[in-house]
Amino acid sequence: MIVDAHGRRFRNLRVSLTAACNYACTYCVPDGKRLQPAQHELDGDELAYMVELIVDAAGIEKLRLTGGEPLLSPKFDEILPRLMSLGLADVSLTTNGQLIDRKAAALINSGLRRINISLDTLDPERFTAIARGGDLATVLSGMEQMRAGGLKVKVNMVPMRRRNADQILPMLEYCLERGMELRYIELMNMGHLRRGNEYLRDFISMDEILEAIGARYEFTRTDAPYDSTAVRYEIPDQGFFGIIANESEPFCSSCTRLRLSSNGFLYGCLSNSASHDVKPLLDLPRHQAMARLQGLLVRALHDKQDVSFKGEVTVMKFIGG
């Protein structure tokens, strides 16, 4: 097993099925940009094979399918059962929920036990202003379908000062009433946010989120697994919520995440644009590919930040959020 000086190793693999997305969220892509697939994306067979190799070589325990928008990928129907059959302890999916209706049966029947659905507001107009694609009612109905199908649903929200700060409580209430766990994600200084002052203007800290919640609810901090990115809180008799506090409580020193982009690059860290091309391994016999992969994993582990997220020009939709 490859381990670094902080005792970190890769246990979680996030696989981007495509860089394409049917949203163009203000914090993810600059104005006027359309989200396209990356050049030379791996096909379903290549991607599944590469995941199998990485799982073996790195000792991956948890797998998350993401993007871009993973449900938009034509590979999705082929790759999901193949990855489910790897027998990993935990397989999950992060989606914006727009296409759940079309994929509901496949998702429910796949054996997937949990799903993260991204939603930043319950207000239809602001939804359109932030996501710049899709519609709110479709996401809400997708959540219901997943809950009715027995999947555990977590909701991801990025609170931002000028856009949805007043949604911190309504979103929590909505999730608590439906037994869904809300995850607030502190805005990350990525991509175009690193230029200009949009990030500084919009960033809402963990303390501010907790203060807003404290106006209505009593809560206590609970234990989270050592490599969890979220700080987790319990509201007695009502449920849980979490905060992914990239800035306020960085989790780099216990980060176990590895990312595989849709065009076959490994990323060891969201805050480092260094990437490692695995496509050449597709042409090698398996034992040689495994040996080369070990070398790439050492380099990817070395790319991790020691202490905190420094920000990166790379955008999340490209690496896989």
CA pair distance 166, 66, nearest whole angstrom = 28
**Residue 262 C-beta: closest distance to ligand SAM, Å:** 11
Pick from 12, 26, 95, 263 the residue near ligand SAM by CB under 6 A.
Answer: 95
Residue type, 316: M
What are the two backbone dihedrals, phi and then psi, of residue 183, each rounded to the nearest 5 degrees?
A: -115, 115
| Whether the Cβ atoms of residue 157 and residue 184 lie closer than 8 Å to each other | yes
Contact track, ligand SAM, 54-93, x by CB under 6 A: ------------xx-x------------------------
Kindly tell me which of 95 and 263 has the beta carbon lying closer to ligand SAM.
Answer: 95
CA pair distance 178, 212, nearest whole angstrom = 20
Task: Please tell me whether residue 83 adopts helix, strand or coil conformation.
Answer: helix
Structure tokens given for 289? 């590919």
Pick from 18, 26, 92, 118 the residue near ligand SAM by CB under 6 A.
Answer: 118
**Residue 206 C-beta: closest distance to ligand SAM, Å:** 13
Binding-site size for ligand SAM (CB under 6 A) equals: 20
**Residue 319 C-beta: closest distance to ligand SAM, Å:** 8
- Of 81, 57, 18, 20, the closest CA to residue 264 belongs to 18
Place of tokens 């695995």: 278
Under the binding rule (CB under 6 A), the answer on residue 26 touching ligand SAM is no
What are the two backbone dihedrals, phi and then psi, of residue 187, each rounded to the nearest 5 degrees?
A: -55, 130
Question: Which residues ranging from 179 to 198 are in contact with ligand SAM (CB under 6 A)?
Answer: 185, 187-188, 190, 193
Pick from 13, 15, 19, 28 the residue near ligand SAM by CB under 6 A.
Answer: 28
Residue type, 4: D
**List of residues contacting ligand SAM (CB under 6 A):** 21, 27-28, 66-67, 69, 94-96, 118, 156, 158, 185, 187-188, 190, 193, 316-317, 321
